[in-house]
Amino acid sequence: MKILAIGRNYAKHIEELNNERPDEPVVFGKPETAILKNNAPFYYPDFSNDIHHEVEILIKICKVGKNIDQKFAHKYYDEIGIGIDFTARDLQSKAKAKGLPWDLAKGFNGSAPISDFIPKSDFDLSNLNFSLKKDGQEVQLGNTSFMLFNFDYLVSYVSRFFMLKKGDIIFSGTPEGVGPVKIGNRLEAFIEDKKMMDFEVK
């Protein structure tokens, strides 16, 4: 399986990092080895002093496809989840300054904690609230109505470049409120009022 992730998909997050608003989705990948499941702890890596949380809604691909038309894209994902796109912001800032790739900053071991997946049919995906608490305090609150590119557009767009296969996961971008984590933090992620993930930084 593969993980594709979308950067700069929420305007207020673009502003907080002083990035440019993209004309097309910003797409990057994470390797399968980035995944943490079942509320496994995240171990703070020794190569960064500035790991940031980015809470994001995930969609899981349910059938193979490429060059998918946007109007059929909804048939290619049937479950959603929530995940953290952990980012070594110090490494990413260096890479961005030099125009170099983000792989080290975004794809390291444990950089993709993910929840279990639940049927999308239970939700209105165009108006979905999701949030992240750090040590009990809400730090990020998003709503999918503020996405620059919606799920169907993202599936259609990435499928022009990457054949999508059953089990692939798309991270759909983070809203504002990203910030650092520290050893000892507890992170809890929610879709609407349902707690989906609860784990520690060690």
Dihedral over alpha carbons 186, 192, 195, 196 (to 10 degrees)? -90
Q: How far is the CB of 69 from Mg ion (least distance, A)?
A: 26
Q: Minimum Å distance from CB 13 to Mg ion?
A: 8
Between the alpha carbon of residue 70 and those of residues 64, 120, 177, the distances in Å are 15, 17, 30
- Of 13 and 120, nearer to Mg ion (C-beta) is 13
Q: Is 176 in the site for Mg ion (CB under 5 A)?
A: no
In the bound complex, what is the minimum distance in angstroms from residue 173's beta carbon to Mg ion? Answer: 6
Which is nearer to Mg ion, 85 or 168 (by Cβ)?
85
Triad 39, 195, 171: Cα angle to 5°: 70
Min dist CB 22 to Mg ion, Å, is 13
Which of 141, 178, 177, 175 shows the shortest CA–CA distance to 51? Answer: 178
State which residue, 92 or 174, has the beta carbon closest to Mg ion: 174
Total residues in contact with Mg ion, by rule CB under 5 A: 3
**Residues 79 and 60: beta-carbon distance below 8 Å:** yes
Encoded tokens for 49: 């002093």
Is the Cβ of residue 86 or residue 190 nearer to Mg ion in the bound state?
A: 86
Residues between 54 and 113 with contacts to Mg ion, criterion CB under 5 A = 54, 85
Distance CA 182, CA 56 (A): 19
Interaction site with Mg ion (CB under 5 A): 54, 85, 174
